[in-house]
Structure 1
Amino acid sequence: MELKTSYLAKHVRNLQPSGIRKFFDATAGMTGVISLGVGEPDFVTPWNVREAAILSLEDGYTSYTANAGLPALREEIAKYIENYFCVTYSPDSEIIVTVGASEAIDIALRAILDPGDEVLVVEPCFVSYAPLVTLAGGVAVIVQTKRENEFKVTAEELEEAVTDRTKAILICSPNNPTGAMLSKNEMEKVAAVAKDNDLLILSDEIYAELVYDELYTSFAALDDTRERTILVSGFSKDLAMTGWRLGFVCGPEEIIKGMLKIHQYAIMCASTMAQYAGLEGLKSGRKDVKEMRKSYRQRRNFIVQSLNEMGLPCPNPEGAFYTFPCVESTGLSSEEFATKLLQTEKVVVVPGNAFGAGGEGFVRCSYATSMAQLQEAMTRVKRFVDNL
């Protein structure tokens, strides 16, 4: 007997599939494809990090860890956060090791939201943010950034969206998909909105290590902001550990305790093997991160120059590994541009509207691929644009 559609919860039925996955699926069976769509480093996880995981298996460390994660790993995370973010957290009560940064965002929202609570979601943004708010019983209130502000949210835009049901601001800087990063002064203005309206800041800082032109500032490091900030990060981007699914979250003890309850029931703990790998990465992986960041900077400079020269205006991203060129001059929508480019030149980019309505007219191009691949991709994109 077939299941009735009505067996699914309404909020799940109404969720739209990821706009990113659509273009990955479309390449199935195709050869000669160059993907600029994957938000994933082309680097392999550093050998010493992989070796630490292998050694943990050989030593028989295959049981559960503490729910919050290996004590040694939480201690190392606390040291890392203090050294790099200039914020102090207790490894015993203010840090949880999670299954990627995605789980951290999920359990944070589930821990803080009552039904109907609103979260200001700054768009364009990663595709999971608004759906995760919905799945947690909240209401995602979209705050559209503007191209004339280089897709950086302003305090005025946030203030206009606040209501008496607003609980938090969900923001990512450096941003996926635009690469835009708020300056310290801009962050302080956002933090002032949170303080004035007694809001939490759910800050996705997964790209904090991939900043190219200035020092990084964490929301938690701003004056009087730590106690209202939930800081999310992980190992996927800077240490090329996407498949390990390892992240962490830091925050005020009360909130972290609430999140830990959900984590206990839903997850138990992150992979033991991955945790030992992450521990080694924090201890000795900074040199690898530095080399990757240097390579990404070179790739960024090349792809931005190439896109601008072919008539696709592209601001210089300050962080992450994405460019967000405007394709309006082609006369095609974001979806049409991405579809035709794939069909004719076998290059994958992601339509900007996959990241929110404000992304229409743009496409996301990841430069987390080799320079040789980028050069060939830019040759194909230029040929496509010229033929239009």
Structure 2
Amino acid sequence: MDVIPGAWRRTAAGAGLLSPEGEVAPTIFAEMSAAAARTGAINLGQGFPDEDGPLEVLEAAREAIAQGANQYPPGRGIPALRDAISEHQRRFYGLDVDPEREVLVTAGATEALSATLLALIDGPDDEVVVFEPYYDSYAAAVALAGARLRTVPLRRPGFQPDLDELAAAVTDRTRIILVNDPHNPTGAVFGPEVLSEVVRLAHLHDAVIVTDEVYEHLSFHAPHTPIATLPGAAERTLTISSAGKTFSTTGWKIGWVHGPAALITAVLTVKQFLTYVNGSPFQPAIAVGLRLPDPYFADAAAALLRKQELLGEALTDAGFVVHAPQGGYFTVADAAPLGGADAAAFCRELPERAGVVAIPLTAFVAAEHRAEYAGLVRFAACKRVEVLEEAARRLAGLR
């Protein structure tokens, strides 16, 4: 009996979710984490911090549990968190967001993205345009929604898109332009000309802009610019973010999406049949976090930048060619000078060779485009300084 329907089998295989034999394909992340456990290597592959977030936020969660916030919260999220999200957007970006009609709390940014795509995709003729390399869940979510993924390559140096290639990718079939800024996995921050072109193309082709801004407070050299702040953008933009990266609470899975009320209602219609609701005691805690004073946010970015610089120096000393990130958790480095022209093979050897785990950038690229990124490796800097220092010592052995 073929328990996997043919249409889903085709889209799942295209998204890398199934092996050619039709079995569930283990991700490179699972494979590399298993290698770290097997060898005792330092895991710089997966992007989760190894330090807890601010004490005020942790204590607020404990207090919420003690006060009985342990049952279903409201479907849109508790009012205190929706108010805090609205206040946050006005405080940092000057955006006016109605917390009653234009904000939806989700089970992390990943659910917000999946619910958005499922809500807005009409059928197999719809296309979703993304920048490539792309966060791996994008292809899976597009496949689940039954749409076609169209990619625009990010070019070195700086991992910025060619605007002509972007314009060619967006057509009247484009339903959604998906923008991840600051960008995972490359660490790029898109310039104003890129954001303006996205808005222009969205108007020209009547597309919706969906933004993944989970690293919004981890932009290193300039304040983050949400695309919704650009003229003409807010009316057709759904802005997604989450608490995990900003407050080192990735396991809490508290995210949100805000935008025009009609679009949010469409997303809620889907979301209610996914997780329904989640994280009751964590929602008031994240409300506390979003109201922390400005120095918290500035210090978080500065601390991560120092870690990125430490990691970058270690990689350079080891013989990599480093692409310094402009934001986010990750540093991309070219392993070709170390014999790593095939980054996937290099990463599989690295735990034994140097006692460090990393992820090949080809894990974030469609199969037909992997040659363009074949020697690039992604390392996570969101670890304790002493862990990064030990990783630097081990990587020095590659010289």
Please tell me whether the aligned partners of residues 70 and 280 of structure 2 are also in contact (alpha carbons under 8 angstroms). Answer: yes
Q: What does residue 367 of structure 1 align with?
A: 381
Deviation at 1:329, TM superposition (A): 2.1
Distance 1:11 1:80 in 2: 42
Question: Scaled by the length of structure 1, what TM-score is found?
Answer: 0.93
Q: In structure 1, what residue type is equivalent to 2:9? A: K
1:349 alignment partner in structure 2: 358
CA contact (8 A) 1:179 1:321 kept: yes
Residue in structure 2 matching 1:139, options 144, 148, 167 = 148
Cα deviation per residue 1:60-86 (whole Å; 9 max; x = unaligned)?
122212100001210110000111122
- 1:178-198 CA distances to partner (integer Å, 9 max, x unpaired)? 101012233112322222222
Matched, 1:53 2:61: yes
Matched, 1:125 2:120: no
| Residue pair 1:201, 1:229 contacting (<8 A) in 2 also | yes
Mapped contact 2:36–2:42 kept (Cα < 8 A): no
Q: What amino acid does structure 1 have at the position aligned with 2:355?
A: K
Q: Does 2:34 correspond to 1:22?
A: no
Q: Alpha carbons of 1:6 and 1:240: their partners in 2 closer, same or farther (altered >3 Å)?
A: closer
**Which structure 2 residues correspond to residues 310-329 of structure 1 after superposition, within 5 A?**
310-329=318-337
Q: Structure 2 regions of 5+ residues with no counterpart?
A: 18-24
1:34 aligns with 2:42: yes
| Alpha-carbon separation, structure 2, partners of 1:261 and 1:7 | 25
2:182 is the counterpart of 1:174: yes
Letter in 2 for 1:70: I
Moved more, 219-228 or 188-197: 188-197
Do the aligned partners of 1:155 and 1:193 also contact (CA within 8 Å) in 2? no
State the alpha-carbon separation in 2 of the partners of residues 111 and 369 from structure 1: 36
Structure 1 residue aligned with 2:9: 10
Deviating beyond 6 angstroms after TM superposition, the runs of 4 or more aligned structure 1 residues are none
Name the counterpart of 2:173. 165
CA deviation profile, 1:311-331 (whole Å, cap 9, x unmatched): 311122110021101112233
Between 343-352 and 92-101, the greater mean CA deviation after superposition: 343-352
Give the match for residue 100 of structure 2. 92
CA distance in 2, matches of 1:343, 1:285: 44
Q: What is the rounded CA distance, in whole Å, between the counterparts of 1:217 and 1:7 in structure 2?
A: 42
Task: Confirm whether residue 207 of structure 1 aligns to residue 221 of structure 2.
Answer: no
Q: Residue type matched to 1:302 in 2? A: L
Identity %: 30
SS where residue 144 of structure 1 aligns?
strand
Structure 1 residue 305, shift from structure 2 partner: 2.7
Give the 3 Å change call, closer, same or farther, for CA 6–208 of structure 1 in structure 2.
closer
User: 1:155–1:190: 8 Å Cα contact kept in structure 2?
Assistant: no
| Residue pair 1:73, 1:275 contacting (<8 A) in 2 also | yes
50, 65, 71: which one pairs with 1:63? 71
Q: More deviation in 234-243 or 63-72?
A: 63-72
**Is 1:336 the counterpart of 2:345 in the alignment?**
yes
**Alpha-carbon shift at residue 307 of structure 1 (Å):** 2.2
**2: CA distance between counterparts of 1:30 and 1:309?**
24
Q: Any idea what SS the aligned residue of 1:145 has?
A: strand
Output the amino acid matched with 1:146: R
Within 5 Å, give how 1:255-266 maps onto structure 2.
Answer: 255-266=263-274
1:376 aligns with 2:385: no
Q: CA RMSD in A?
A: 1.8
Aligned counterparts of 2:180 and 2:56: Cα–Cα separation in 1? 30
How many residues in Structure 1 have an aligned counterpart in Structure 2?
Answer: 381
Give the Cα–Cα distance (whole angstroms) in 2 for the partners of residues 169 and 188 of structure 1. Answer: 13
Paired residue secondary structure (1:142)? strand
**TM-score, reference length from structure 2:** 0.91
**Aligned-partner residue type, residue 146 of structure 2:** G
